[in-house]
């Protein structure tokens, strides 16, 4: 027989358990501690389980209250199967006497096994004590006589309503020896569990008189935030906006006060190191609870104009130690940052006499779309068409006008400009500028004719010299 080393007293052992389903409400782990208790039998006060004093028998007892077990809620009234071979099975009867390692996919599953082994006929009792909300459900196997051990002992399992922790306590005033049992707890799939190290070959001396094993669930905190509705299309400095954010506690631990924040940046992925554009306080949330908070949004004057990616984060400063499993930071969309409405069209605009023009007026900031007006008189032949000055100028000169732009919020901006209309044949310094919609390729015809005349005179002089030579 293999003997396993015992835990030292009060030594915690931790096992981490994954979720049975990503949306499971109670994401639990368990910690196991070993200590010494005072065994209080319920033989004289409890109700006998109808095991019919038969070997390998089983009888149902209805759970007197609901409790959590491996990430699931076990409602009151659920069948708790009391097996004569010293284990409880949640949800179904079982008669299995051959113990296995814990956890194991082999049936039975969803078990609580204080010392599962092949046992001779045994008597068991159950009892409920305490007030609603703080009740204790206890099952006790009395003077167990194991086939593979010398002597007898009593074992009690207790489930606590207040926090769903489980206790296993052992009483053997006359120390027994031997056995090859399994001790531990296991989920309904048999893939998650926490077994005592000696299982499936635990000897009775591994759990001497007064041993108390406590399996305490660790209630995890898992906060998830999501937008209610959509982001505003744009934000302007000094102009507040709001969004609603829903925060849910997908874990089972109660959260302390924390916050949510929205962050903006130019990169495709944004995190809380980006520019904070809004935050709100999130009140404490019990496991499974949710709250919707209003988050004010605002950007400061001088913020970079243009499109920004936005991320939503819950507990961004790790204020409450939120379980960072990748779902507490979400990329939620794009916001266009605006600035003060400003005309960016050049001060001087040049058009060529008689040339077709299509000059684009430009502005930035504010909130699009824009509309344009001109205060003053355009050169003859030119007109304003939306954000374009189009047509063909019919007279030369300089024309002073004011451009006025109005945005979607009815804010306006005004700037002064000079429109130059030049003849193609002049040497105006602005002639030849390739402005949008302006003139280009404006070489003077008179200049070309002058050069041709000089070349002709030179050719005639050359021929005259040849004739006299």
> Is residue 322 within 8 Å of residue 328, measured between CB atoms?
yes
Fold designation for 342-446 = Immunoglobulin-like (2.60.40)
Question: Minimum mean pLDDT among 3-12, 102-111, 200-209, 277-286: which range?
Answer: 3-12
Is residue 9 packed enough to be buried (19+ CB in 10 Å), middle (13-18) or exposed (0-12)? exposed
- Contact in structure between 62 and 49 (CB atoms under 8 Å): no
Share of the chain above pLDDT 90, in %: 52
pTM: 0.51
What's the pLDDT band for 435 if we cut at 50, 70, 90?
A: very low
Retrieve residue 139's tokens.
């099952």
Which of residues 88 and 3 earns the better pLDDT score?
88
Q: Per mean pLDDT, which range of 74-78, 136-140, 264-268, 295-299 is the poorest?
A: 264-268
Upper half-sphere CA count for residue 325 (Cβ side, 13 Å): 14
pLDDT tens, 117-147? 988 878 999 999 999 999 999 999 999 888 7
* CATH architecture, range 223-336: Sandwich (2.60)
pLDDT of residue 22: 31
Asked if pLDDT for residue 107 goes beyond 60, the answer is yes
Count the neighbouring beta carbons within 10 Å of the beta carbon of residue 60: 14
Q: Quick one: 208 exposed, middle or buried, by C-beta within 10 A (0-12, 13-18, 19+)?
A: middle
Rounded to whole angstroms, the Cα distance separating 273 from 404 reads 39
Q: What is the pLDDT of residue 18?
A: 32
Same fold, 223-336 and 342-446: yes
Euclidean distance between CA atoms 368 and 185, whole angstroms: 64
Rounded mean pLDDT, 110-114: 96
Pick 440 or 322 by higher pLDDT. 322
pLDDT in tens, 383-398: 999 999 999 999 999 9
Average pLDDT over all residues of the chain: 83
Residue 75 pLDDT > 50, yes or no? yes
Per-residue pLDDT for 2 more than 50?
A: no
**HSE, side-chain direction, 13 A CA sphere, residue 331:** 9
In terms of C-beta density within 10 A (0-12 exposed, 13-18 middle, 19 or more buried), how is residue 137 classed?
buried
Residue 39 confidence (pLDDT) above 60: yes
Work out the pLDDT band at 327, boundaries 50, 70, 90: low
* Structure token pair of residue 207: 């759990």
Q: What is the average pLDDT across 56-65?
A: 92
Closest among 161, 206, 221 to 7, alpha carbons compared? 206
- What pairing do the DSSP bridges indicate for beta strands 356-360 and 58-62? unpaired
What would the pLDDT profile of 191-224 be if each residue is shown by its tens digit?
Answer: 999 999 888 888 888 899 999 999 998 877 888 9
- How many CA atoms within 13 Å lie on the side-chain side of 49? 28
| Lowest-confidence pick of 41-45, 105-109, 294-298, 320-324 | 320-324
pLDDT at 156: 98
Burial 141-164 (b: 16+ CB within 10 A, else e): bbebebeebebbbbbbbbbbbeeb
How many CA atoms are closer than 13 Å to the CA of 217, on its beta-carbon side? 27
pLDDT in the model for residue 200: 87
Look at residues 274, 269, 401, 420 and name the one whose alpha carbon lies nearest to residue 332. 269
For 328-373, write each residue's pLDDT tens digit: 888 999 998 877 788 999 999 999 999 999 999 998 877 778 999 9
Provide the pLDDT confidence category of residue 14 given band limits of 50, 70 and 90. very low
What is the Cα–Cα distance from 463 to 380, expressed in whole angstroms? 51
- Per-domain residue ranges for the chain? 13-218, 223-336, 342-446
């Amino acid at each position: 027989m293999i003997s396993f080393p015992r835990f030292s007293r009060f030594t915690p052992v931790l096992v981490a358990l994954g979720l049975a389903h990503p949306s499971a409400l109670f994401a639990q782990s368990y910690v196991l501690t070993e200590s010494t208790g005072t065994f209080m039998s319920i033989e004289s006060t409890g109700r006998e389980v109808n095991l019919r004093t038969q070997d390998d028998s089983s009888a149902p007892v209805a759970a007197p209250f609901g409790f959590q077990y491996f990430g699931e809620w076990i409602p009151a009234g659920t069948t708790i199967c009391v097996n004569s071979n010293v284990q409880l099975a949640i949800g179904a009867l079982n008669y299995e006497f051959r113990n296995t390692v814990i956890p194991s996919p082999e049936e039975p599953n969803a078990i609580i096994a204080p010392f599962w082994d092949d046992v001779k006929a045994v008597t068991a009792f159950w009892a409920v004590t305490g007030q609603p909300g703080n009740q204790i459900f206890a099952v006790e196997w009395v003077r167990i006589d194991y086939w593979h051990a010398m002597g007898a002992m009593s074992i009690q399992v207790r489930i606590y309503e207040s926090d769903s922790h489980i206790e296993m306590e052992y009483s053997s005033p006359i120390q027994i020896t031997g056995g090859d049992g399994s001790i531990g707890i296991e989920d309904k799939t048999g893939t998650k569990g926490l077994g005592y190290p000696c299982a499936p070959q635990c000897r009775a001396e591994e759990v001497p008189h007064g041993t108390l094993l406590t399996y305490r669930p660790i209630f995890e905190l898992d906060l998830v935030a999501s937008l209610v509705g959509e982001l505003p299309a744009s934000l302007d400095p000094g102009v507040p906006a709001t969004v609603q954010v829903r925060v849910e506690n997908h874990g089972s631990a109660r959260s302390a006060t924390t916050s949510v924040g929205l962050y903006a940046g130019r990169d495709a992925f944004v995190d809380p190191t980006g520019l904070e554009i809004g935050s709100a306080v999130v009140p404490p949330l019990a496991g499974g609870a949710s709250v919707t908070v209003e988050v004010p949004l605002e950007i400061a004057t001088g913020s970079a104009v243009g499109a920004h990616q936005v991320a939503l984060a819950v507990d961004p400063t790790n204020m409450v130690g939120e379980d960072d499993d990748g779902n507490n930071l979400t990329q939620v969309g794009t916001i266009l940052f605006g600035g003060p409405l400003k005309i960016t069209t050049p001060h001087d605009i040049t058009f060529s006499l008689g040339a077709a023009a299509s000059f684009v007026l430009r502005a930035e900031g504010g909130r699009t779309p824009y509309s344009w007006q001109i205060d003053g008189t355009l050169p003859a032949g030119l007109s304003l068409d939306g954000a374009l000055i189009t047509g063909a100028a019919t007279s030369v000169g300089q024309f002073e006008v004011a451009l006025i732009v109005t945005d979607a919020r009815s804010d306006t901006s005004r700037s002064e400009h000079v429109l130059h209309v030049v003849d193609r044949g002049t040497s105006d310094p602005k002639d030849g500028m390739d402005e949008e919609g302006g003139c280009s390729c404006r070489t003077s015809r008179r200049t070309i004719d002058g050069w041709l005349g000089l070349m002709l005179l030179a050719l005639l002089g050359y021929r005259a010299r040849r004739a006299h030579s």
